[in-house]
Structure 1
Amino acid sequence: MKKYLSSYWIRSAFFSILQRFSVTLFGLINFIVLIRFSLSKEQMGTWSLFLAITTIFETTKSGLLKNAHIRYVSTSDVSDEKTTIASSSLLINASISILFIGLIIFFSGSVSTLLHTGADLGTTLLWFIPGLVCMVFFSHMEAIQQSHLDFKGVFAGYFVRQIVFFTLILGTALLRIPFALPWLALYQSFSIALGTIVITLYSRKYLIGRFNPSKLWIKKIFNYGGYIFGSGLLGNIFASVDQFMVATFKLSNAWVANYSAAAKLNQVVDIPSYAAAEVLFPKVSKASIDEGKEKVRYLYEKMVGILMAFTIPTAIFVIIFPKFVILLIAGKNYMEAAPILQMYMITGLLRPMQNQGANLLNSIGKARLCFIINAISLGGNLVINYICLSNLGFYGSAVGTMITCLLGAICWYFIIKRQIGAVLPTMARHVAEYYKLFFTYAKGFLSPQPSGK
């Protein structure tokens, strides 16, 4: 076992996938507790919008800082330079968070009105400000861990965050204490604070104890991460645009709850894809510099093949049995979400190729191209969603998102083919190889073993 865990790929993939799985699993369990025992459909819609807003901010900020931090630190051999990079990244991190907190203080009420949530959404955002402060340090330690190709502390930090939040909401439900959305925001803040302590303890060996940012490195991070920041912002808005448009069109955030239920289940399929992106990014960054396009193409095709081997059977099962999955997870009050889930799963069949494509362009220094693609995709999604919502009603946003994602996947394929020469037949061959390997192991495991004499 020790031999296998000494491999970068096995070790990193193990902790990264474990981290992603634990986040999604606890997110799903928390979702079940809230949706079945605690929150009304209207409250669930408001909570979903809160999570969408805060997730867009945090993942977008991470796109600006973490990728640049990892790329520059992992390719530098100078200790003082690594410290300067980390310090510059922390300064930018804190500055962006302060700006976002200011926007919440002054405009959260207007956002609540626009999305038809009364005062609940604005109040919940205000109560989450302590969590945003803690996230500055949590995300910084996460970048430090991954820039040193270490994923154990990231898993530990996220696991503590999830288990603490789960314990708090389960305790509240068991004690039959009435749920209030602002209290959920405080629970989130407290869990992030404990997770920050844990990930910091794991990161101590990488901390020098000096804070020496420089204008040069701040500029470099912005130059490298600026397009990634914009691309991440557009991509994250794209991921939640259906919920925001439904909230705006239907004048009731109860409709959002159905979309949120489908989206939460859809995230399960994406666990391997996002975990793989974190493992692959530092390796592709180094390969693009040291080994050239052929190595980058090999890594991309191999990873997409692995991911599609996981996602295809899962997506097909959900497409065939959407009502069973919705009933099992969300309950009979959310059966309207079944067709939405089906449409999301259709796009999930090709999503690994698209997700890894965006990650690859960023890692080989083509962030501007990735930004342009995401900008066009978001613009097309908004237009198509508007048309579909206006003509098809409630399910229009899901239809629009499915159409946009399928068209986007086709475009991404030809762009990646042009950039690195990756082709679909090679990816399909990798998928077939992994299925063959799986069935070989399964056959050997299930075959009767000869009895010893």
Structure 2
Amino acid sequence: MTEKNYWVRASTYVTLQRLAIFVFGFGSYFFMVRYFSKDTFGVWTLFVVITSIVEMSRSAFIQNAFVKFYSQPNIDRFSLTTASITLNFISTLVFIALMLGLIPVLTIFWHTKEIMGLILWYCSTSLILVPLTQLNYLEQANQSFRGVFWSAVVRQGFFFSVVVICFLWVPNMSLNFFAAMQSVGGIAGLVTAWILSKQFAPRRLATDRAMVRNLFKFGKYILGTGVASTIGKNADQILLGSISHSSVALYNAAVRVMNFVEIPTLSISNIVYPKIAERANLEGKEAAGRLYEKSVATIVGIILPVIVGILVLPQIVLLITAGKAYLEAAPILRIMATASVLIPFNVQVGSAFEVIGKPHVSFYINISANVVNLVVNILLIPRLGIMGAVWAMLITNVFIFVVSQVLLRREMGVSLLRTGVQLVEFYTTAPGHIRGFISRKK
């Protein structure tokens, strides 16, 4: 596949995947937030926080190490795949054990017994996700995204369909029912992934303990980074849950809106990661740094008009997304929108340090940032409530931005000035590219 074809095909599938996940996820939220009361939906939000921590942490542990090693020359891909599957399964069992052990603690801390049934259902979903995610990682490592896209569409689309049906015709279903439907959706996604990605599956499995150790050695820092990052990212909602479930629901209303901004951020990050790894291996750290600058400028250029719209009309955005009961979250949304300008810079930091063989750097950045975030949340939430959580989020993003840019400049020669130039170039060239695309379609 040529360089141009790779970017076109990859960007199409990954962007559509992120868009589909957002549409189905937001669609499910749109109906569920109106299906349940604020307090009940707050419990569901806390459950989603737990599942996000587990899925993102496990993905960071397995996916990035597998993709990086897979692209190296002379690698035994049978042994690599076997080692990745082994770590995927073991890490899932560890997370299940942790979740089961935390049930009594969370029941007391969040003042709800419903969380127990939700976690039990998610334990079964986690086991289903082991082969599903492994097929997705294998396909991504082969620079193909078709199966990843369709398995996500089927999995998320199934759950969305169930939510819509219940909203329209089946009232008073429990939270446990929807958690169970997530497991069913996972099975549907797994079947889809196997049909479309089985050609990438290894013809045989080869046990190699050294390969397992190498993957674990590389992935442990990324796992630590992933756990610290997701816990830190959700520490505000975790702590708000001890105050009131309705506070969590209000805060989450603003978070859901900002998830829209993350679509291009995460999509381009997934596309760029294999290319940054390849560029670092073939051309060195400086070349990888130039790709970092260009990708960040592109993401900022895409999301900036959306951010301006949110800053100007937060009430209208909330009225459309969450309903009249959530309009009081407008100040929260404004601050989140301001902080989101820094997200493209911060998201790419982990990938940049991983591909140059220094995953521990991003690990320490995230650990430090999450300590800052946790401390500020503990200090501000009891005094300011929801607004304390928002200010803590802004302070943490600024901290990550400042520290990471200093280290990126030292290690890879990354320049904010060049990134700014790339942003200006994006806006000057984008209209021409759009007109050319439209003319070709005509």
Aligned to 1:435: 427
Name 1:294's counterpart in structure 2. Answer: 286
Give the alignment of 1:216-231 within 5 angstroms: 216-231=210-225
* Deviation per residue, 1:352-389 (Å, 9 max, x gap): 01111222112221110101010000000111112222
Q: Contact (CA 8 Å) 1:131, 1:188: kept in 2 or not? A: yes
Report the TM-score, using the length of structure 2 for normalisation: 0.95
Matching residue within 66, 70, 73 for 1:73: 70
Describe how 1:70-149 pairs up with structure 2 within 5 A: 70-78=67-75, 81-116=76-111, 118-149=112-143
Out of 30, 36, 41, the residue aligned to residue 38 of structure 2 is 41
Q: Is the 8 A contact 1:76 1:82 kept in 2?
A: no
- Give the 5 Å matches for 1:184-263: 184-248=178-242, 250=243, 252-263=244-255
Q: 1:409 to 1:6 in 2, by over 3 A?
A: closer
User: Aligned residue pairs: how many?
Assistant: 439
Distance verdict in 2 for CA 1:444–1:131, change over 3 Å: closer
Aligned partner of 2:307 in structure 1 is 315
Does the CA contact (< 8 Å) of 1:4 and 1:11 recur in 2? no
- Determine if the alignment matches structure 1 residue 421 to structure 2 residue 413: yes
Unaligned runs of 5+ residues in structure 1 are: 448-453
Task: Report the residue type matching 1:281 in the other structure.
Answer: Y
Answer whether contact 1:15 1:155 (CA < 8 A) is retained: yes
Cross-structure match for 2:7: 9
The question of whether the paired residues in 2 share the 8 Å contact of 1:5 and 1:11 is answered with no
**For residues 61 and 444 of structure 1, what CA distance do their matches in structure 2 show?**
41
CA deviation string 1:206-240 (max 9, x = no partner): 11342323210110011111101001111111211
Matched residues in 2 for 1:306 and 1:358: separation? 18
**AA paired with 2:152?**
Y
What amino acid is the match of 1:282?
Answer: P
| Other structure's SS at 2:337 match | helix
Whole-angstrom CA distance in 2 between matches of 1:253 and 1:76: 51
- Give the Cα separation in 1 of the matches to 2:24 and 2:425: 32
Q: Give CA-to-partner distance per residue, 1:257-280, whole Å, 9 cap, x none.
A: 011111111111011111112111
Aligned partners of 1:213 and 1:345: how far apart in 2? 48
Counterpart contact for 2:81–2:202, Cα < 8 Å: no
Asked if 1:153 is matched to 2:147, the reply is yes
Residues 49 and 244 in structure 1, CA contact (< 8 A), matched pair in contact too: yes
Partner of 2:391: 399
RMSD between superposed Cα atoms in Å: 1.9
Alignment TM-score, normalising by the size of structure 1 = 0.93
Which residue among 152, 162, 185 is the counterpart of 2:156?
162
Give CA deviations for 1:288-322 in whole Å, capped at 9, x if unaligned.
11111232122111101110101111111111211
Structure 1 match to 2:25: 27
- Aligned partners of 1:5 and 1:227: how far apart in 2? 31
Secondary structure (helix, strand or coil) at the match of 1:350 reads: helix
Supply the distance in 2 between the matched residues of 1:442 and 1:9 (Cα, whole angstroms). 16
Matched to 1:10, the amino acid is V
- Between the aligned residues of both structures, percent identity stands at 27
Q: Does the 8 Å contact 1:160/1:195 carry over to 2? A: yes
Say if 1:444 and 1:169 are closer, same or farther in 2 by CA, change over 3 A: closer
Alpha-carbon contact 2:240-2:385 (below 8 Å) kept: no
Partner of 1:374: 366
